[in-house]
Chain A
Amino acid sequence: MDNKTDIIFIIDDDLSIRKSISLFLKAADYNVESYPGSEEYLAKEPYDGTGCIILDINLEGKNGLELQEELVSQASHLPVIFITGYGNVSMSVQALKKGAVNFLEKPFKEEELLQSVSEALALSRKLKAEKEESKTARILIDTLTPREKEILKYFLSGMLNKQIAHKLNIAEHTVKLHRHSISAKLRVKSVPEILRIADKAGIIPSENKH
């Protein structure tokens, strides 16, 4: 199973909860790491693989919701499953809005936990894949010269060769040459493929001024 490559992080200040849940998930063939608090989790070596975080809301120091916010801002691909003993509606709404996979109130059922974990892991893989594609696209885009990047941005905004040439005050033929170069560097043949890579790399189209 590909479970082996995922790591589930448990962050809870209650030792019994940490111990029991990690044991259970280990029994379900998951890799588990557990931490008593947000600070301890953040202090560890950054993890780049897929996985998820089972996070207690009521933590000493930085609490669960605060940690989630920080993870969101870091564009973490580790989805969060909240667990709590003192849950309330507003907390759960806030947590789910920020992208938490689930909000489980102790004592939650094993199916619920496993379901949430597998959802979270699937999401993690997807996020990880997207992240990787975007990374590849950015590497490819980075091979382009500044002029080529500029022309690419105009393409993205839907301008024709002629219009670009006019805009840059160069010959239409030169524009075509640049486009070929871009295709070659991005290792694609069609314009839609170029546009897809540029999109993944997060290139923002130039303003189309006529």
Chain B
Amino acid sequence: MHRINCVLLSGFLLCLWFIPLETIASAGEKTIVVFLPLNANLPAYQNFMDGFRTTVSAGYDEPCNIMVEYLDLGRLPADVYARHIVDLYNEKLKQTRCDLIITLAPFAYPILKKFGLEALEKTPVITIELDPPVEPPSPSPANNLTLEIKLKIDVSKTVENAFMLFPENKDVYIVSGNSVTDQYFNSLISKSAADLKPTHKIIVISGGSLDSTIRVIRTIPKNSIVFIPAYLSGKSNIPFSTPEAIGIISKYCNAPVFPIFDSFNRTNGGIGGYVFSFFNLGKQTGNTAVAILNGKKPAGITVNAADFYQYIYDWKQLKRWHLLNSALIPSNSIFINKEVDFFSQYRWQILIVVFFILSQTVLILYLYKLNRRQKVIVKQQSETKDLFLKIFREERLLRMVELTASLSHELNQPLTAILYNAQAGIRFLKSGKLDSRQAEEIFGNIIEDDKRAGELIGSVKSLMKLENREKGKVNVNKLVTETVGIFNAEAIKLGIHIQYKLPADPLFVFGDKVQLQQVLLNFMLNAAAAMENTDPEKKILEIVQRTGKGSITLSVRDCGPGIDDAIKDKIFKPFITTKKTGFGIGLAVSQSIIKNHDGEIRAENIPGGGAEFSFKLRLIDNGQ
């Protein structure tokens, strides 16, 4: 199993390996060889190659290899060296396919030509050389395969721009390296500066070691203008790079430092200005290369040299010289080293982050507050509940006390009666007058009184048993019909007509159905008792459902004499009754039940006769 996996994996990897090989071997694949005369570290070359690669990779659809060869002629200018490397390239190019050759100034093409690079004769060539050349004329292109791009380095506009930016500054210092090329550019600047400002002093600092140069640089007055055109080699032909020199020199220089090439962007220190752009040159060359690769004849191509110049400024330097907002800086300039104003660049992101953090903070604070408030509320709620329970318990206790007092009074009746019956019995017995009839009467009385006492106690028990029963959804219609069902036999016996209407959609309350039935039944029994002496036709008991705002009132109306004013206020107290039977405990129990249901219980006289007993409870949704 493991082995099979290995095989599969190897197969898969092999496939991956072959696919790119296939692609590389496609028909359109081309190779460009670029010959750069000096050493590889030159920033100018880097800019050139950046621009070149940009356009070639964007413009040419097929794969294209770019081989770069650095001739390093600056270090070793001797012919022997040149001959050797050309031999080496000849050998190299025999092994390699070559579709296009590009040679860059200064003197890459003349050297390669002079020492006989064979490829130049059979391959399309783009040769880029300074005009006028740095050194005496080189052999002109030998065949129509060669396209010559002539670079006329015109520094006049560059120098003029520097004078414009610093009109007050008088002396012109030109700092440069030692090489022929360095001197070539020196002379260009000197000539331009002298032409533009004949009265200005022009001082050239070149040929010294870097240390000695720096010593001189320190003494340059502030109101001067310093140009560093090229610094390709220091004393004893040590290769150097212009941007590197600009970086070091500007550090010790009090006056503004101007470059003439875009390569100054590789370091800090030069102000910039109207400079020759190797990047643009690279781009143009790239476009030309693409055209040639696509089959165009090199001879027929023209290149616009004016496009090589560009306004490039170092943002930090502009800031240093207070030129940031100067009208002299063209708006289409390229700004390098731009100090990123973090806020303005990422304004929206920052605003969003700040807003997010703020909203989070607000949310957290809000949640925190909410949490605390909730805790307080929960605490208050539990306290309120405790208090409520306490009050409820105390109220219940009070009612119990009241009830007990009433009960004890009520119990006194049968107890007294029992006592006196027994005393009578003893007396009759002692006096020898106790006959069986009397004895029977006495015992009968005692039994009845005892029963009565027992019933009393039993009825009070029902009051005590009220709390903590399971409650649920109660259908009011069913409550009415079932209670009427229970009472019906009694009603028929007493000749009472029961009237009630039920709503089509039943209403619901939350409660203990049995207890609520008890209340309703108690109301009905009271109503029946109240109508004992009413005309038989008028013995009507009516059950009415009335709905209010979220509540229902269920009432029982009778046609009796109404509630006696004497007991109206204390009708819900225990042992208050106008009936010949019972102990007056029914309404007290009813009140306890309704209170336990958070409801209201009422007893009223109906204007025009009769009484109405009602209770009001909160309605609940059917779905609840």
Chain A interface residues (CB < 8 Å from chain B): 14, 16-17, 19-21, 23-24, 26-29, 85-86, 106-108, 110
Contacts and interface: CB of A to CB of B under 8 A. Distances in A.
Given A16-B449, A19-B445, A24 B413 contact: no
A107 B409 contact: no
Contact of A27 (B414, B418, B423): B423
B284 interface: no
SS of A interface (majority): helix
Given A26-B424, A27-B428, A16 B442 contact: no
A39 to B, nearest CB: 16
Nearest to B428: A27
Contacts of B414: 16
A27 B427 contact: yes
A107 B427 contact: no
A17 B410 CA distance: 12
B417 interface: yes
Interface in B367-418: 409-410, 412-418
A106 B449 CA distance: 14
Contact of B412 (A19, A20, A29, A107): A107
A24 B410 CA distance: 21
B417 A17 contact: yes
Nearest to A25: B424
Nearest to B405: A86
A20 B409 contact: no
Contacts of B409: 85-86
A16 B418 CA distance: 8
B79 to A, nearest CB: 147
Interface string B422-459: 01111110010100001001100100110010000000
A20 B427 contact: no
19 contacts: A14-B413, A14-B417, A16-B413, A16-B445, A17-B416, A19-B417, A20-B416, A20-B417, A20-B418, A20-B420, A23-B421, A23-B442, A27-B426, A27-B427, A106-B412, A106-B415, A107-B416, A108-B416, A110-B419
Contacts of A106: 412-413, 415-416
A24 B431 CA distance: 12
Nearest to A105: B412
Contacts of A24: 420-421, 423-424, 427
* Most chain B beta-carbon contacts within 10 A, residue among A17, A23, A26: A23
A21 B421 CA distance: 7
A107 B410 CA distance: 11
A74 B521 CA distance: 49
Contacts of B442: 23
A23 B441 contact: yes
A85 B420 contact: no
Interface-centre pick from B417, B425, B427, B438 (highest chain A CB count, 10 A): B417
Given A14-B413, A86-B409, 5 more contacts: A20-B419, A27-B433, A106-B413, A107-B415, A110-B419
Contact of A20 (B424, B438, B452): B424
Contacts of A20: 416-421, 424, 445, 449
A118 to B, nearest CB: 15
A186 B319 CA distance: 155
A21 B427 contact: no
A108 B438 CA distance: 23
Contact of B424 (A17, A23, A85, A108): A23
A177 B418 CA distance: 69
A17 B442 CA distance: 12
Contacts of A86: 409
